[in-house]
Structure 1
């Protein structure tokens, strides 16, 4: 397959990558920024405005990773947009979702928690000795890895994505990877629901005493009973309800849903239900 993207297109994507976090928001995090960064490639791949609109909507969804991981995912996503058929486009976002977590962890550990402390220590030691080279040297050393690494990650992700997609079509690898990415994504979402969303109830159910027949002899704590049957059941229930509402409204009333959840929570807390 003839490649449509050039080094100039990849360079423009890299430049836009550096401003991805300007559009950071609580609904899609880096989603809008990712869509803007990949849009030069999309404009070249999809000359038809309807196809271009669908492609841009495909990338304007929830996304969040480390900026150096963004670079590799950006190149890979551009390669998939260019090399896949219409029936394979649905595999792009699951692949992004599956990669954004591991690459975020890798970027944080290698860049933020390893390289930054090293160059920061070098720069600080020079600055404390009175040398103005301290902050300058730190800036240069940091960006050797940060900026140059981002550019080559975009190029590497694109080239390796093209090679992979061209060499593995006969093995249906795209579908297999998409399935694996979906599984990983569901595991991440499931763990987040159980650990981040905390919905508990203090309600108790009074039952008759087996000895005196009086009501209130025994008390069953509803939360303990639910935890025995299915831990974090209420958290899962709330997540499903909010997800269904967001899906039905196409996410157009996200702010209203957040405010409604706050009001409902206050009311239920006042009446001792939560």
Structure 2
């Protein structure tokens, strides 16, 4: 913002005052933050220092919703969908998986830099046009992500129960019984447990990965679980 402030405010006092305002707490997603900054620049260019309170309210009011949308789409949805697809294809020796992942990242990079001029060109009108839709966009993105993750569980998570029970001539295979209840039941239960554990205060992704490795090694060694 400093080059813009130097251009817009010729008086040192005005420039310093606006610099102090812009140094206030502003925390949003890095990919969509330019969207807000672009609107900020358009309003300041039109109203000058009179828009100080408007800009402060704009940044404070939009940083949360835009962070929710940006974190959901760019931090969860896209990496989950395309990262999982790319990794799955890569595990099977298909180089297209890596190409897909690179193309998605290039597209995200292009979108990131295009949001600032988009916000600038729309200015105030964009606030009112998009403000009411942010919650719907966030909810839709979350729903899409959960659906995709659920669909990927049977193909990405491979866990079976190799236990076999014999009673006379009757042979019961635990995995066959579980498949009759619901195919890929064990992977679903495992993912659900991991998701539940991540909600605990002292649990993070690193501890969860280590815990899964330890439990997997123990249960695999005992013959309770297999790949």
Describe how 1:205-220 pairs up with structure 2 within 5 A.
none
Partner SS state of residue 135, structure 1: helix
Provide the residue aligned with 2:2 in structure 1.
39
Q: Given the alignment of the two structures, is residue 140 of structure 1 paired with residue 103 of structure 2, yes or no? A: yes
Describe how 1:103-114 pairs up with structure 2 within 5 A.
103-114=66-77
CA offsets 1:121-149 (integer angstroms, 9 cap, x no match): 222023212345533431321330x2121
Find the aligned partners of 2:118 and 2:24 in 1 and give their Cα distance: 24
Number of matched pairs: 129
Q: Which has the higher contact order (CA 8 A, sep 6+)?
A: 2
Provide the residue aligned with 1:158 in structure 2.
120
Q: Given the alignment of the two structures, is residue 54 of structure 1 paired with residue 17 of structure 2, yes or no? A: yes
Q: Given the alignment of the two structures, is residue 93 of structure 1 paired with residue 56 of structure 2, yes or no? A: yes
- CA contact 1:80–1:161 (8 Å) conserved in 2: yes
- Structure 1 length-normalised TM: 0.42
Find the aligned partners of 1:42 and 1:162 in 2 and give their Cα distance: 19
Q: Given the alignment of the two structures, is residue 80 of structure 1 paired with residue 47 of structure 2, yes or no? A: no
Partner SS state of residue 67, structure 1: coil
- CA contact 1:68–1:150 (8 Å) conserved in 2: yes
Provide the residue aligned with 2:142 in structure 1.
none
CA offsets 1:190-229 (integer angstroms, 9 cap, x no match): xxxxxxxxxxxxxxxxxxxxxxxxxxxxxxxxxxxxxxxx
Identify unmatched segments of 5+ residues in structure 1.
1-37, 166-172, 178-274
- CA contact 1:83–1:162 (8 Å) conserved in 2: no
Offset, 1:55: 1.8
Find the aligned partners of 2:76 and 2:68 in 1 and give their Cα distance: 10
